[in-house]
Amino acid sequence: MKRFKFSLETLLKYRINMEKKKKEDWARAKKERVKAEERLKQIYREERERREQLESLMEGEIDLKLFNLTQRYIGQLMRLEKIQSKIVEEKKKIEEEKLKEWIEARKSKKVLENYREKKWREYVYELDKEEQKIVDDIFLNSKRYHEN
């Protein structure tokens, strides 16, 4: 009997490569989302520190110029927070989309792998049948030989 050959091997290899690429795309998107979230946390920390600074400025004699600059800086940080929050949401959407694409690619690959496994079992079954037939023929021939 000839060797096992899966007729869709090229397609399976393609799907394996696509699944790997989609997984890498998702990992990259996740990394970008985490980076954007870290930037947002940095902005929050900076704003909190500047608010604390503003409160401490109000405890003693107030330098109005520094007070006004700090207030404007806090306002800028608040605008940055809004912008960065939108960026984080966009990165989350992209990550979710990449995750869905990876899951679909994985399913597509798995279908072909399961089909290949089924074909392999059929091949092994046929091989066993053929082997059993050969063994039976040998047994019958040896029996005939001994009878004569």
- Per-residue pLDDT reduced to its tens digit, 20-73: 999 999 999 999 999 999 999 999 999 999 999 888 877 777 788 888 999 999
Q: What is the pLDDT of residue 22?
A: 98
Structure tokens at 57: 């400025």
Contact 95, 36 (CB under 8 A): no
| 136 pLDDT tier (thresholds 50, 70, 90) | confident
Contact 75, 50 (CB under 8 A): no
| 2 pLDDT tier (thresholds 50, 70, 90) | confident
Contact 33, 91 (CB under 8 A): yes
Q: What is the pLDDT of residue 91?
A: 98
| 148 pLDDT tier (thresholds 50, 70, 90) | low
Query: Considering the domain boundaries, does residue 51 fall inside one?
Result: yes
Query: Considering the domain boundaries, does residue 91 fall inside one?
Result: yes
Query: Considering the domain boundaries, does residue 86 fall inside one?
Result: yes
Query: Considering the domain boundaries, does residue 30 fall inside one?
Result: yes
Residue ranges making up the domain that contains 18: 9-147
pLDDT tens digits for range 97-134: 999 999 999 999 999 999 999 999 999 999 999 999 98
Query: Considering the domain boundaries, does residue 56 fall inside one?
Result: yes
Q: What is the pLDDT of residue 59?
A: 78
Cα-based distances in Å from 78 to 47, 64, 133, 144? 7, 21, 81, 97
Query: Considering the domain boundaries, does residue 3 fall inside one?
Result: no
DSSP secondary structure letter of residue 8: T
Contact 22, 105 (CB under 8 A): yes
Q: What is the mean pLDDT of residues 9-28?
A: 97
Query: Considering the domain boundaries, does residue 14 fall inside one?
Result: yes
Query: Considering the domain boundaries, does residue 2 fall inside one?
Result: no
Cβ contacts of 13 within 8 Å, gap of 6 or more: none
Overall number of domains in the chain = 1
Q: What is the pLDDT of residue 123?
A: 95
Return the CATH number at 127: 1.10.287
